[in-house]
Structure 1
Amino acid sequence: MAETLETLATPCLLLDEARLRANAERMRAHLAGLGVRLRPHLKTAKSLDVARIAMTSPEGPAIVSTLREAEYFAAGGVRDMIYGVGIAPAKLPRVAAIRAGGTDLAIILDSLEQARAVAAHARASGDAVPVLIEVDADGHRSGVAPHDGDTLAAIGRALTAGGATLRGVMLHAGDSYALRDPEALAAAAENERVAAVTAADALRAAGLPCPVVSVGSTPTARFARDLTGITEVRAGVYMVGDLFQAGVGSVAVEDIAVSVLATVIGHQRAKGWIIVDAGWMALSRDRGTARQAVDQGYGLVCDLAGRPYPDLLVADANQEHGIVALRAGSGGGLPDLPVGAQVRILPNHACATGAQYDRYHVLDGEGRVSAVWPRINGW
């Protein structure tokens, strides 16, 4: 007999399939209208079932954030992937093993030191591993400055001289996550585009190949208006959404496809608290919305249909206990949620919350559990 929400052991991770599919199609259509292909980032999903909905074909393209993901998706038939974290030389044998299995796995780097290590690996193994040079769009994290043509060229020459393949450049506009205004987000997307094209032009001017010009983050993908010179866009959390992305404006709260099912286990009525069995181990410690205009605590509390209760948050969390309370300043009242009642909690950060679980309980259009989809974790 199929499980129902009422029979699921809590806490557990729910996935609304209709919202997932709608989110995936919305991003595909947007980028198709701008003339570029979408390379979904699978670091949030970590599920082959979700990947097959997000990708344009069962073989990809895709980007991953761990070699564990690369191995898992390669075993599932994905053949076109980027490992989107700067390469550590000790990981090259794992990269080689994935590539030997028939997957075109590209890597990224941003230093001459890394390039020399990859070139040495290519010489020793005979594997012309493809490489994208990471370029810094906005000072957020890693990457070569887009105007530093000398460094870009030096890295490119070190790679090609050693037998590796210079495939292009990739950028991530991480500072876009701090924005909210649509015009500012559109400007961030344009800044990312210009930085990418500048770096690509520098490589080409040095006589080096740059067939791939890859950019991406969910906010800039969502608000980009012109992608001239870009060949592909990467984004990931748009598939399922979360409260942080809702705060940025990349998704609406009603687009969020993941939630944590929890059970009421007690009350502290004098304090205005409802206690649930989902603490920070189930929801994550991520409090990213605290820096946004609307602080969503540890998550927004919804009924079993996924409708948010007015002003009801997980206001605090211990390891296995969530403290549900009204938002500060609310004029409303607590809903009647007796011991044993269930709620759904929308997460601040879908990646961090999802990392606590090894499966999705998938909901159909009627809110019934229609499937269980495995997901993986680890590095």
Structure 2
Amino acid sequence: MPMKETQITQETPYLLLDIKKLDANIARMQTHLAKLNVQLRPHVKTNKSAQVASRFFDGAEKPITVSTLHEADFFAQYGFTDILYGVAIAPNKFEHVKKLILAGTALKLILDNLQTAKLLLDFASRHHLPVNVLLEIDSDGHRSGLPPCDAEIEAIAQLLQGSLVTICGVMTHAGNSYNSKSIAEIEQYANQERDAVVSSADMLRSLGVNVSIVSVGSTPTALFSQDLTGVTEVRAGVFAFFDLVMAGLGVCELNDIALSVVTTVIGHQKDKGWIITDAGWMALSRDRGTANQKVDQGYGIVCDLQGNPIGDLIVTAANQEHGIISSRSQGHVEHFPVGTQLRILPNHACSTAAQYGGYHLLNLENDATPYWERINGWA
């Protein structure tokens, strides 16, 4: 569908969100998880928008995952009060946590070490503040977390037993799934992710802990899990938009990518075969997530305004405000006059979207509000 003239002529660069594709991506995830009988707790760090987040839910229950307490503040204002703060808590955030809890937010925190558990227990005791926590389990050595069934898990459980700090669950993130070379490998990571948290949950239950939440999360494993027995919820976020990294993994097709950056041709270096645009890394981000995949997409695939890829054009280089488009094969580049507008599919939807204050919308029915604001930053 051609974009409206008001969109074509507005200043660039800007962020364009295709609502039809967004809704289809959400429906795909919901349908898959319904078959596995688990709840979706979407990670809103990708979209950071109340309007986008509302499209995940039909009923009153709206559990979400956030990456900052600033996001928790923002989404709580819109009725998203069942919130998991998906980063291990630090002591300098305890006061902010207290404000959120006292305001009525059902906030859940992440612990992954005994030292922080002691500090949180001391704070909760001094302030008579009930706090719910999940223990983070390291399922693949990708980043933080406790090894499955580690002795420190038992130590934390014993420390917190009968206190104001309640362990209500366990969580993990299969980050290594982003390095997978095949769907079969993604499925293996999904099983590994599940087994790590389920076994740790069983260990805690054997110690008398009432574990009600067993949480896994990554878009690749979420979409290709075949058995989530013992898991209660899935956290994933980028699936709503998708991006070139996900396409490179085989998790989606290029046509599923709902997010793009609209840019304008501002000049040429004809002897080099370059098209110069006004979307550099400040507009696209520095993320080169496809560099180690089978196909390196540079800083993004170049499309026409309808979202159709143009030949083998990619953004091959990016300065702060300038993007350089050229042929992947160093072949002839069709001439695009100054003023021509193009769309760039992003490598990483989260980091690209973070450059903008909101979304211009495509394919939104009854589009009385053709722009949705988003939040950024930490405070």
Deviation sequence 1:322-361 (CA, Å, 0-9, x none):
00001036x5x42331100000000001111111100100
Output the CA distance in 2 between the equivalents of 1:231 and 1:192: 13
Q: Summarize the Cα distance change of 1:3–1:127 in structure 2 as closer, same or farther, 3 Å threshold.
A: farther
Deviation sequence 1:199-238 (CA, Å, 0-9, x none):
0111111122211100010010011000000000110000
Q: Give the TM-score, by structure 1 length.
A: 0.95
Tell me the residue number matched to 2:19. Answer: 17
Alignment partner of 1:27 is 2:29? yes
Output the CA distance in 2 between the equivalents of 1:352 and 1:359: 13
1:1-379 counterparts in 2 under 5 A? 4-57=6-59, 59-148=61-150, 150-328=151-329, 333-364=332-363, 371-379=370-378
Contact 1:264 1:337 in 2 (8 A): yes
Decide which moves more: 52-61 or 99-108. 52-61
CA displacement at 1:369 relative to structure 2? 9.8
Output the CA distance in 2 between the equivalents of 1:171 and 1:87: 15
CA displacement at 1:315 relative to structure 2? 0.5
The letter of the residue matching 1:111 is: N
The letter of the residue matching 1:287 is: R
CA displacement at 1:91 relative to structure 2? 0.3
Q: Summarize the Cα distance change of 1:58–1:66 in structure 2 as closer, same or farther, 3 Å threshold.
A: farther
Output the CA distance in 1 between the equivalents of 2:54 and 2:282: 28
Output the CA distance in 1 between the equivalents of 2:368 and 2:325: 25
The letter of the residue matching 1:146 is: P
CA displacement at 1:365 relative to structure 2? 6.2
Q: Secondary structure at the match of 1:91?
A: helix
Q: Secondary structure at the match of 1:288?
A: coil
CA displacement at 1:370 relative to structure 2? 6.1
Q: Summarize the Cα distance change of 1:22–1:108 in structure 2 as closer, same or farther, 3 Å threshold.
A: same
Deviation sequence 1:269-295 (CA, Å, 0-9, x none):
111110000000000000110010010
Output the CA distance in 1 between the equivalents of 2:272 and 2:369: 38
Output the CA distance in 2 between the equivalents of 1:250 and 1:8: 33
Deviation sequence 1:81-103 (CA, Å, 0-9, x none):
10000000110111111122211
Deviation sequence 1:242-276 (CA, Å, 0-9, x none):
10111112221110000000000001111111000
The alignment's C-alpha RMSD in Å is: 1.6
**Corresponding pairs, count:** 374
The letter of the residue matching 1:272 is: G
Contact 1:192 1:215 in 2 (8 A): yes
Q: Give the TM-score, by structure 2 length.
A: 0.95
Contact 1:244 1:288 in 2 (8 A): yes
The letter of the residue matching 1:312 is: L
Decide which moves more: 114-123 or 27-36. 114-123
Deviation sequence 1:65-95 (CA, Å, 0-9, x none):
0011110001111111100000001101111
Q: Summarize the Cα distance change of 1:4–1:58 in structure 2 as closer, same or farther, 3 Å threshold.
A: farther
Contact 1:59 1:79 in 2 (8 A): no
Q: Secondary structure at the match of 1:40?
A: coil
The letter of the residue matching 1:341 is: T
Q: Secondary structure at the match of 2:283?
A: helix
Unmatched segments (≥5 aa) in structure 2? none
Contact 1:301 1:314 in 2 (8 A): yes
The letter of the residue matching 2:27 is: E
Moved over 6 A (4+): none
CA displacement at 1:122 relative to structure 2? 1.7
CA displacement at 1:58 relative to structure 2? 5.6
Contact 1:120 1:162 in 2 (8 A): no
The letter of the residue matching 1:347 is: P
Output the CA distance in 2 between the equivalents of 1:3 and 1:70: 37
Output the CA distance in 1 between the equivalents of 2:323 and 2:272: 14
